[in-house]
A and B are shown apart, each in its own frame.
Chain A
Amino acid sequence: MGVLEKEFFNSAFVSYFLASCFNIGHLIWLKEKLGQWAIGLTVLGFVVNTLALVSRTQQAGHIPFANMYEFGMAFVWGIILFYLYIAYRYKNYSLGTFILPVAFVLTGIFSSFYQEARPLMPALKSNWLLFHVITAVIAYGALAISFALAMMYLWRLRIENAGEQEAFMSRLPSLETLDTLANSYIHFALPFLTLLIVTGAVWAEYAWGSYWRWDPKETWSLITWLIYGIYLHGRVSLGWRGKKAMNWVVVGFITVLFTFIGVNILLPGLHSYAL
């Protein structure tokens, strides 16, 4: 099964792409069949994504968290798991229109960084790897959901401001709900984002003899944390709600993506192996 890993991940890419198209179609034409196809393809994508993770683990001989391609697989898997949980539990699939395109674009990006499976390099041979990356999957997955909710908010707001009365609006949660949901996902994610930085720092102390070296990855993870910190303060103390808060949520997730992908490509430091 190990040799099929790349094919599994590519199949996940195709499934997520088709699910995005069906989700958008479902929202535009309001056909139930399209919605069913969308959720079916999302489940299919999730299954092959899981198979890709399993076969990679089998091939590499360790949990597949050693580089951007491997963690990318887990990241997208986490996003879809969150989405499927919401869709199943609350029987509302409209979020898929916004989250599936994110998943499919990320799958495409991570596929382009494919590397042959190989054993762990000395710096990564630590139990901290598991804790560090699992917290990353949870935190980044939930922040991706908050981003999709914020995009949904901004889209709905734009349509409402234009005075249009589209039929699909009935399928979207209200602005107030979207604002509250995006906020609650950030609240869910932030303790894990903190844990992500803390586990990284403690691990760095054991591996490199310093818990903080102002390495670009470390610095950008701090910047991401501070951006969400500003969001929390703005919301609690300055009453940020609606468009202002949602714009900040979008900025936060763009920073997450830069910390994870951009830094590896543009600012290699101690984490240069992550590419």
Chain B
Amino acid sequence: MAERDIVIQCVAKQRKRFFQIVHSCISMKVAMMLLFLLIGVAMAGTVISPQRYDVYHSMGFRLLLTLVCCSTFVCSMRQFTSLCRSGGKQRLASWGTFTVHIAIVLIVLGALYGNLYGFSHEINLPVGKGYEITHDQYDGIAEPFRIHLQDFETRYYADGSVSDWVSHIRIEHDGQEVVSQEVKVNHPLTYNEVSIYQSSFGMAIQTQYLDTTGKVLQEASLGEGRRMILEGQPDMMILPVRYIGGPNPQIWYIVYKDGREYDWGVAPLGSSRFVGTGMIKFLEVQPFSGLLIKYDPGIPLVWLGFILLTLGFFVSLYKRNSNRFYETQDTIPLAWHIKRKKNVVGLNVNKDR
């Protein structure tokens, strides 16, 4: 019997120690340290070039965000249990604080859900061409459809500055037009929860690499500044720098060898130039529109989080304020009073003499 008591006591001690450790881990000081760390790492991320090290997508940063999120969740659970027990004037303000913490967790969960089950893909679509959104390529879409770029135009203000970049998009389903809309910056098109955004634009240059007999070895549609590694010559690349319009349209190009600039020139459309053991030929140029295709199932959760976060802050801080200040005699009221009541103002301010 005594032995059993000792075992029970030992288990109780271990449990107590475990809860002490858990309690210290979720204490306010630890939460504050996590926030300090998050601030420090976020600051570092703004000065380190993403090409060198992408801080915000690293495992370490994700782990830190997870810890902050867990700490916030545990904190809100503790608030919830004490809220259920307590009452009084600060009750509404405390519900606001609880809502803020829950909202932060919702936003992070929404972002995570969107990252796991959504997609975001950028395409360069030449005018007159189409692009298939299929189940194979885009997991999560309700049904496949086709995006067709009817036209792309740049609109200008009277002073000559750019007013809008506009893609005239047609959505086709089973060969039938279902939606036709202008897609502009700030005006995306959403079809079956998939959104299409105006992202960039440029000129697509139809580029061929031929052997000396004129046989086509390689063909690609390249945007200005995009490189193509030559077939059979992995150490060589061609880069059409810019399309030069006018009555005799030409392409300014650069040839790279072993990663270094090797040659450059200007070639009229349709003519060929010797490059390495073959020839390069620029066939035609077409304007293209850079479109971002995005599906994010986490958005409703994130938006809900945003609404709760804002409401929670207003309730938490404004209700708390209205209860905190009181009026004393011989004072000049200086405090901002959120609630326009006579008794919600500041403390001992000496009168201006």
Residues from chain A with a CB closer than 8 A to the CB of B138 are none
Residues from chain B with a CB closer than 8 A to the CB of A194 are 309-310, 313
Residues from chain B with a CB closer than 8 A to the CB of A209 are 120, 188, 195, 197, 199, 292, 294
Q: Is the CB–CB distance between A202 and B306 below 8 Å? A: yes
Q: Whole-angstrom distance between the alpha carbons of A90 and B352 in the complex?
A: 10
Instruction: Decide if B318 is an interface residue (CB 8 Å cutoff).
Output: yes
Q: Is the CB–CB distance between B350 and A187 below 8 Å? A: no
Instruction: Decide if A161 is an interface residue (CB 8 Å cutoff).
Output: no
Q: Is the CB–CB distance between A188 and B310 below 8 Å? A: no
List CB contacts (< 8 Å) of B201-222 with chain A: none
Q: Whole-angstrom distance between the alpha carbons of A4 and B244 in the complex?
A: 42
Q: Whole-angstrom distance between the alpha carbons of A173 and B334 in the complex?
A: 9
Residues from chain A with a CB closer than 8 A to the CB of B185 are 122-123, 125, 207
Residues from chain A with a CB closer than 8 A to the CB of B165 are 122
Q: Is the CB–CB distance between A90 and B332 below 8 Å? A: yes
Q: Is the CB–CB distance between B195 and A184 below 8 Å? A: no
Residues from chain B with a CB closer than 8 A to the CB of A238 are 28-29, 32
Instruction: Decide if B325 is an interface residue (CB 8 Å cutoff).
Output: yes
Residues from chain A with a CB closer than 8 A to the CB of B279 are none
Pick from A176, A177, A188, A230: contact of B35, CB under 8 Å: A230
Q: Is the CB–CB distance between B186 and A121 below 8 Å? A: no
Q: Is the CB–CB distance between B161 and A176 below 8 Å? A: no
Binds B, one of A5-13, A41-49, A105-113, A213-221: A213-221
Q: Is the CB–CB distance between A198 and B309 below 8 Å? A: yes
Q: Is the CB–CB distance between B36 and A184 below 8 Å? A: no
Q: Is the CB–CB distance between A121 and B161 below 8 Å? A: yes
List CB contacts (< 8 Å) of A237-269 with chain B: 237-238, 263, 267
Chain A positions 196 through 222: 1 when the CB is less than 8 Å from some CB of chain B, otherwise 0: 001001100111111110101001101
Residues from chain A with a CB closer than 8 A to the CB of B338 are 187-188
Pick from A119, A195, A211, A226: contact of B157, CB under 8 Å: A119
Q: Whose C-beta in chain B lies nearest to the C-beta of A118?
A: B161
Q: Is the CB–CB distance between A187 and B317 below 8 Å? A: yes
A177-B314 contact in complex given A123-B186, A207-B186, C-beta closer than 8 Å: no
Q: Whole-angstrom distance between the alpha carbons of A230 and B348 in the complex?
A: 28
Q: Is the CB–CB distance between B332 and A91 below 8 Å? A: yes
Q: Whole-angstrom distance between the alpha carbons of A106 and B314 in the complex?
A: 29
Chain A positions 68 through 103: 1 when the CB is less than 8 Å from some CB of chain B, otherwise 0: 000000000000000000100111111000000000
Q: Is the CB–CB distance between A181 and B346 below 8 Å? A: yes
Q: Whole-angstrom distance between the alpha carbons of A84 and B313 in the complex?
A: 26
Q: Is the CB–CB distance between B325 and A220 below 8 Å? A: no
Chain B positions 156 through 198: 1 when the CB is less than 8 Å from some CB of chain A, otherwise 0: 0101011111000000000000000000111110000001010
Q: Whose C-beta in chain B lies nearest to the C-beta of A167?
A: B353
Q: Is the CB–CB distance between A195 and B335 below 8 Å? A: no
Q: Whose C-beta in chain A lies nearest to the C-beta of B186?
A: A126
Interface size counted on chain B using CB atoms at 8 A: 60
Residues from chain A with a CB closer than 8 A to the CB of B187 are 206
Instruction: Decide if A227 is an interface residue (CB 8 Å cutoff).
Output: yes
Pick from B164, B314, B350: contact of A125, CB under 8 Å: B164
Q: Is the CB–CB distance between A212 and B163 below 8 Å? A: no
Instruction: Decide if B336 is an interface residue (CB 8 Å cutoff).
Output: yes
Instruction: Decide if B10 is an interface residue (CB 8 Å cutoff).
Output: no
A237-B348 contact in complex given A219-B45, A267-B46, C-beta closer than 8 Å: no
List CB contacts (< 8 Å) of A166-194 with chain B: 170-174, 176-177, 180-181, 184-185, 187-188, 190-191, 194
Q: Whose C-beta in chain A lies nearest to the C-beta of B97?
A: A236
Q: Is the CB–CB distance between B349 and A174 below 8 Å? A: yes
Residues from chain A with a CB closer than 8 A to the CB of B294 are 209-210
Q: Is the CB–CB distance between B46 and A177 below 8 Å? A: no
Instruction: Decide if A234 is an interface residue (CB 8 Å cutoff).
Output: yes
Pick from A86, A126, A171: contact of B352, CB under 8 Å: A171
Instruction: Decide if B38 is an interface residue (CB 8 Å cutoff).
Output: yes
Pick from B318, B320, B324, B332: contact of A92, CB under 8 Å: B332
Q: Whole-angstrom distance between the alpha carbons of A123 and B278 in the complex?
A: 44
List CB contacts (< 8 Å) of B300-336 with chain A: 302-303, 306, 309-310, 313-314, 317-318, 320-321, 324-325, 332-336
Residues from chain A with a CB closer than 8 A to the CB of B36 are 230
A-B contact pairs, 16 of them (CB 8 A): A89-B333, A92-B349, A122-B165, A173-B334, A177-B347, A177-B349, A194-B309, A206-B187, A209-B197, A209-B292, A211-B302, A216-B46, A223-B39, A226-B35, A233-B28, A238-B32
